[in-house]
């Protein structure tokens, strides 16, 4: 009887499971941020959700793990500790990283099209639907013209109709 036991294989499995568990525990670690005043924490979280990571596509600073996001989180913490308002912090970061950093850009000369385009598209779509529905209503109300026939054709048609009526009686 042969044994399937291979020395070291069991140990490798245990080490592999341990490393797998360890890697998931490492990923779950969050940044621990300490404030001089705990009332700053809600503002900090709100700002991290409203500010976009300059490197990532569609991720806010709270969700991103990039190095720039980590630096910006520390910067937001520093600015909050300096007692700046949320508007001042956003303005500082906007001046440094452009309006891309704001999830909700301000309405101004360079962003008015972003705010107006959805409204214009909805109104334009409504007008197109309205026009097509009116066209359909008016085309359904028109009477179809009776084709003009010669007297010979009309007599043959009458004769056919009369013969079909007599055959069905």
Mean pLDDT of 82-89: 90
Q: Which of 34-38, 51-55, 75-79 has the highest mean pLDDT?
A: 75-79
Q: How confident is the model at residue 29 (pLDDT cuts 50, 70, 90)?
A: very low
Is residue 66 within 8 Å of residue 53, measured between CB atoms? Answer: yes
Is residue 105 within 8 Å of residue 114, measured between CB atoms? Answer: yes
Is pLDDT at 142 greater than 50 in this prediction?
Answer: yes
Q: How confident is the model at residue 124 (pLDDT cuts 50, 70, 90)?
A: very high
Q: CA-CA distance, 50 to 90, in Å (whole number)?
A: 9
Q: How confident is the model at residue 26 (pLDDT cuts 50, 70, 90)?
A: very low
Q: How confident is the model at residue 23 (pLDDT cuts 50, 70, 90)?
A: low
Evaluate if pTM is beyond 0.75: no
């Amino acid at each position: 009887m042969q044994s399937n036991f291979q020395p070291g294989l069991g140990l490798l499995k245990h080490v592999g499971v341990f490393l797998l568990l360890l890697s998931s525990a490492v990923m779950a670690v969050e940044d621990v941020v300490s404030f001089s005043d705990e009332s700053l924490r809600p503002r900090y979280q709100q700002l991290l959700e409203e500010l976009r990571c300059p490197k990532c596509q569609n991720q806010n600073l709270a969700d991103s793990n990039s190095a720039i996001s980590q630096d910006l989180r520390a910067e937001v913490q520093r600015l909050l500790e300096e007692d700046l308002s949320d508007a001042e912090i956003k303005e500082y970061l906007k001046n440094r990283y452009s309006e891309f950093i704001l999830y909700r850009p301000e309405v101004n000369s360079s962003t008015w099209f972003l705010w107006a385009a959805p409204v214009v598209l909805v109104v334009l779509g409504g007008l197109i639907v309205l026009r097509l529905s009116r066209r359909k209503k008016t085309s359904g109300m028109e009477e179809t013209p009776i084709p003009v026939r010669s007297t010979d054709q009309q007599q043959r048609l009458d004769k056919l109709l009369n013969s079909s009526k007599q055959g069905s009686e």
